[in-house]
């Protein structure tokens, strides 16, 4: 049977300078999004009032789960009525979708596997945290489980190709959710012990050797600390980290086979997300061991070439540091889950402006409405989107979001030195200072955000004086600048002042001796 025709140019990734962009219908798109609660998408009537509320918040996409247990309630019998309903709801509000495949893994366990998988431990064995002690997680070494999961995702992607291959409502798919093993650092089943006693796969060692100069900071410490060996058993090569590397390789291989089967039917961009290490000193198994945390990012890149990127679920307070961790080794940034409080309204400016994030999606977005400050941030960023995507990867754009006790930030951009003074310390219940600053041309800057002042000065030991040639408030409408007030006198003396509500200013500068 021939596959149905698909419109040319399905959603895909494209490099622009140092950035990776998500291309939808021929144009780069930043997903100003949110992820719904885990169970919201299991009921179309429950979702019905959510769709218009999300559109009113200014979202252009929604992140929603698709559940293996509901898609394939009986082996080989697939039911896509729920998926079709989600597509219809999104299309009615002109929203794109990112689908989360809740298959073998959800939060480090196998909650969403169908009953016929959960109850057949002979065919679909569990990982063991101690010999004979079954966990709630299906064994990543099980070919039967992997192939069953792969068949199910392939069926979903085949259906999406048929019903959405021309509309492109779905722009990306997350394969599994927060993979790994809880309660132990590695599988201790008899099969797991035999595999662990064997040699590290040559494919992994070749990948690490080729990428030695591009490995993450975390893996650069881990591997040499164990001796930097090029071959041997897992323990010989990776020392104290051997359990976690072993699990990361085998879980990554499992996920890759599932993604490969899905892409064979409909090659949308696919990614894996991760439950982060919660704090320094936390041990594998206290967070899901083998998931693609920063220290295992390179292992996953080797194990899962059909996964296009690794996406962090950021609930830690060091948001900026976590973003930097997940833009190492060529990994593009997407944030499929994060805090939904006032910090989200600021952090989106940092993620998109500083790291060219393809998506920003606070979790449990269906609890919010247009009164949340995130809506104002999304409205401003939607207006800026053509300018932002044009400058991604050029080194002419900076994103800022105030953290901790930070009050001042200084950096060079577009031939000038910029000093950012935040309006007040970070306070619970208030949006921290935040901005995107773009050097749009010689002596010209767009400054967008809230809660800070930007001062410009010259560079070098004999820097000239710098002042405004013109400073305007305004906005972008369909990519074109529409000026508002011309700011001068008291309104321009301190610099570009962004008040408590998100706004946009255009500054043109001149230098003089």
| pLDDT value of position 453 | 98
| pLDDT value of position 227 | 75
Q: What is the pLDDT of residues 195-210, one digit of tens each?
A: 999 999 999 999 999 9
| Average of per-residue pLDDT across 3-22 | 82
Query: Is 50 exceeded by the pLDDT of residue 3?
Result: no
| pLDDT value of position 461 | 83
SS (H, E, C) 257-284: HHHHHHHHHCCCCEEEEEECCCCCCCCE
Q: What are phi and psi of 316, to 5 degrees?
A: -75, 160
Helix 143-164 vs helix 242-265: angle between axes, to the nearest 10 degrees? 40
Tokens of 479: 């990519």
The span from the CA of 357 to the CA of 355, in Å, is 5
Token look-up 């679920």 returns: 313
| pLDDT value of position 8 | 56
Detail the DSSP E strand segments found in 68-183: 96-106, 126-130, 133-138, 170-177
Query: Is 90 exceeded by the pLDDT of residue 101?
Result: yes
| pLDDT value of position 175 | 98
SS3 439: strand
Band of pLDDT at residue 5, cut at 50, 70 and 90: very low
The span from the CA of 64 to the CA of 51, in Å, is 11
Q: What is the DSSP letter of 231?
A: S
The span from the CA of 81 to the CA of 59, in Å, is 24
Q: What is the DSSP letter of 198?
A: S
Q: Which domains does the chain have, with CATH numbers?
A: 12-391 (3.20.20.80), 397-512 (2.60.220.20)
Tokens of 437: 């600053």
Query: Is 70 exceeded by the pLDDT of residue 165?
Result: yes
Q: What is the pLDDT of residues 301-358, one digit of tens each?
A: 999 999 999 999 999 999 999 999 999 999 999 999 999 999 999 999 999 999 999 9
Q: Is 284:244 a contact under the CB 8 Å cutoff?
A: yes
Q: What is the DSSP letter of 495?
A: S
The span from the CA of 101 to the CA of 152, in Å, is 10
SS3 114: coil
SS (H, E, C) 29-72: CCEECCECCCCHHHCHHHHCCHHHHHHHCCCCEEEEEEEHHHHC
Distances (CA, A) of 81 to 44, 218, 273: 10, 44, 26
Residue 449: CB partners within 8 Å, gap ≥ 6? 349, 380, 400, 433, 434, 435, 436, 498, 502, 503
Burial class (CB in 10 A: 0-12, 13-18, 19+), 144: middle
By C-alpha distance, which of 445, 385, 456 is closest to 416? 456
SS3 5: coil
Q: What is the pLDDT of residues 106-160, one digit of tens each?
A: 999 999 999 999 999 999 999 999 999 999 999 999 999 999 999 999 999 999 9
SS3 373: helix
Tokens of 426: 């970070």
Distances (CA, A) of 91 to 96, 273, 440: 7, 25, 34
Q: What is the pLDDT of residues 210-256, one digit of tens each?
A: 998 899 999 998 887 767 888 999 999 999 999 999 999 999 999 99
| pLDDT value of position 49 | 98
């Amino acid at each position: 049977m021939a596959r149905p025709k698909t419109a040319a140019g399905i959603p895909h990734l494209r490099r622009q300078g140092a950035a990776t962009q998500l291309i939808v219908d021929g144009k780069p798109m930043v997903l100003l999004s949110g992820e719904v609660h885990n169970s919201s998408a299991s009921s179309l009537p429950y979702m019905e009032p959510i769709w218009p509320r999300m559109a009113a918040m200014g979202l252009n996409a929604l992140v929603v789960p698709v559940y293996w247990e509901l898609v394939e309630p009986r082996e080989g019998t697939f039911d896509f009525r729920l998926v079709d309903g989600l597509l219809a709801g999104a299309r009615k509000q002109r929203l794109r979708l990112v689908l989360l495949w809740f298959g073998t893994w959800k939060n480090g366990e196998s909650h969403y596997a169908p009953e016929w998988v959960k109850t057949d431990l002979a065919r679909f064995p569990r990982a063991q945290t101690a010999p004979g002690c079954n966990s709630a997680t299906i064994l990543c070494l099980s070919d039967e489980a992997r192939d069953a999961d792969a068949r199910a995702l392939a069926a979903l992607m085949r259906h999406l190709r048929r019903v959405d291959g021309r509309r492109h409502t779905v722009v990306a798919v997350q394969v599994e959710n927060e993979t790994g093993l809880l309660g132990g650092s590695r599988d201790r089943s008899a099969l797991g012990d035999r595999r662990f006693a064997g040699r590290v796969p040559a494919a992994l060692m070749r990948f690490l050797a080729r990428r030695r100069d591009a490995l993450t900071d975390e893996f650069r410490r881990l591997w040499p600390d164990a001796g930097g060996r090029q071959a041997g058993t897992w323990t010989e090569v990776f020392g104290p980290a051997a359990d976690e590397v072993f699990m990361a390789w085998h879980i990554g291989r499992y996920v890759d086979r599932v993604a490969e089967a899905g892409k064979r039917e409909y090659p949308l961009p696919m990614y894996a997300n991760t439950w982060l290490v919660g704090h320094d000193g936390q041990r594998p198994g206290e967070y899901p061991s083998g998931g693609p945390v920063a220290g295992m990012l390179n292992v996953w890149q080797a194990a899962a070439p059909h996964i296009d990127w690794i996406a962090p679920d950021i609930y830690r307070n060091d948001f900026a540091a976590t973003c930097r961790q997940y833009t190492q080794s060529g990994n593009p940034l997407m944030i499929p889950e994060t805090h939904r409080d006032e910090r989200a309204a600021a952090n989106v400016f940092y993620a998109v402006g500083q790291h060219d994030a393809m998506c920003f999606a606070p979790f449990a977005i269906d609890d919010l409405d247009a009164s949340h400050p995130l809506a104002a941030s999304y409205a401003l960023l939607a207006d800026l989107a053509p300018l932002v995507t044009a400058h991604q990867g050029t080194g002419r754009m900076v994103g800022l979001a105030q953290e901790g006790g930070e009050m001042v930030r200084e950096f060079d951009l577009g031939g000038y030195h910029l000093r950012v003074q935040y309006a007040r310390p970070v306070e619970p219940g208030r949006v921290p200072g935040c901005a995107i600053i773009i050097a749009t041309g010689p002596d010209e800057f767009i400054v967008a955000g809230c809660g800070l002042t930007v001062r410009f000065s010259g560079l070098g030991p004999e820097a000239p004086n710098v002042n405004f040639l013109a400073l305007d408030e305004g906005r972008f409408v369909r990519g074109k600048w529409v000026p508002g007030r011309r700011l001068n006198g008291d309104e321009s003396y301190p610099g570009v002042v962004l008040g408590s509500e998100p706004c946009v200013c255009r500054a043109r500068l001149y230098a003089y001796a």
